[in-house]
C-alpha cells in the first residue's frame, strides 16, 4: 500500500473502534435505565471522556493526512466524510451520556410498564440497530444499506411524534410520577436525534463511495 492508503486504512479502523465504543455506551445506558443501575450509568459517564478523546485524535489524524498527502478523489471524499462522521459519533456518545445522567439523577426506578407503553424500549432498540447498520455500511462501503437508514429512522420519528400525548397521559394517571415521566420524554427526544445523526452518517458514506451529495437535496428527508 502507498503511505496515504496505509494512513487511511488506520483512520478507518479508528473510526470503527470509536463506533463500537459508542454502541457500547448506548447499550450500557439502556441497561442502566431498565435496571435502574446507577453504577453502570456512572460508568457510561466516565467513559464519555474516551469518546471525546477518540474524536480529538481522529480530527488530528485527518488534519495530518490533509497536510502531508494532499489527497484527491475518493481519498479526499473519505477524509471529508470521516470528519463529519466523527462529529456525529461524538454527538451520539453525548446522547448515551445524557440518558445515563438521567438515571443517576432520578430518585425512583423507571416503571417497567411505563417504559413499555411509551415505546421507549422499542425506540431504543431501533436506535441501536440503526447505529449498528450504519457502521456495517461504513465498513463494507454498502450504500444500499446506508440508504435503508432513512427508512428505518421513521420508527424513531413515529414514537417521537406521539411522545407528548403519551407522556401527558402518564402524568394524568399519576401526578406523583411527573419527574419520571419528564425524564422519559427527554430520553425519547434524545433517541430521536440518534436517527438524525445516523442519517447524517449514511449521507457521508454515500458521498464518499458514490461521490453523491444528498444534503439538502430533499431526496431522503426534510430535516437533519
22-51 confidence digits (pLDDT tens)? 999 999 999 999 999 999 999 999 999 999
Radius of gyration (Cα) for the chain, nearest Å? 19
Residue 130 has pLDDT above 50, yes or no: yes
pLDDT-based confidence at residue 1 (cuts at 50, 70, 90): confident
pLDDT-based confidence at residue 217 (cuts at 50, 70, 90): low
Q: Which of 160, 122, 166 is nearest to 30 (CA)?
A: 122
pLDDT-based confidence at residue 179 (cuts at 50, 70, 90): confident
Mean pLDDT of the chain, nearest integer: 91
Q: What is the pTM of this model?
A: 0.90
Written out in words, the top-level CATH class of the domain with range 3-210 is mainly alpha
Q: Where are the domains of the chain?
A: 3-210
Give me the pLDDT at residue 60, please.
Answer: 96
Q: Which of 155, 126, 47 is nearest to 94 (CA)?
A: 47
Q: Which three cell numbers stand for residue 131?
A: 447505529
Query: What values do phi and psi take at 214, rounded to 5?
Result: -100, -15
Amino acid at each position: 500500500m502507498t503511505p496515504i492508503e496505509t494512513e487511511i486504512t488506520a483512520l478507518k479502523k479508528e473510526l470503527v473502534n470509536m463506533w463500537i465504543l459508542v454502541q457500547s455506551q448506548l447499550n450500557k445506558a439502556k441497561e442502566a435505565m431498565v435496571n435502574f443501575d446507577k453504577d453502570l450509568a456512572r460508568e457510561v459517564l466516565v467513559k464519555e471522556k474516551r469518546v471525546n478523546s477518540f474524536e480529538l485524535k481522529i480530527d488530528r489524524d485527518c488534519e495530518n493526512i490533509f497536510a502531508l498527502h494532499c489527497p484527491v478523489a475518493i481519498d479526499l471524499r473519505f477524509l471529508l466524510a470521516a470528519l463529519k462522521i466523527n462529529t456525529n459519533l461524538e454527538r451520539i456518545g453525548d446522547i448515551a451520556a445524557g440518558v445515563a445522567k438521567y438515571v443517576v439523577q432520578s430518585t425512583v426506578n423507571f416503571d417497567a410498564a411505563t417504559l413499555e407503553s411509551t415505546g421507549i424500549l422499542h425506540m431504543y432498540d431501533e436506535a441501536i440497530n440503526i447505529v449498528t447498520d450504519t457502521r456495517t455500511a461504513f465498513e463494507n462501503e454498502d450504500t444500499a444499506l446506508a440508504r435503508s437508514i432513512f427508512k428505518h429512522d421513521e420508527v424513531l420519528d413515529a414514537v417521537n411524534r406521539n411522545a407528548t400525548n403519551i407522556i401527558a397521559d402518564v402524568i394524568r394517571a399519576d401526578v406523583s410520577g411527573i419527574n419520571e415521566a419528564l425524564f422519559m420524554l427527554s430520553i425519547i427526544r434524545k433517541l430521536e436525534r440518534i436517527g438524525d445523526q445516523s442519517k447524517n452518517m449514511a449521507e457521508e458514506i454515500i458521498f464518499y463511495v458514490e461521490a453523491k451529495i444528498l444534503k439538502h437535496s430533499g431526496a431522503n428527508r426534510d430535516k437533519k
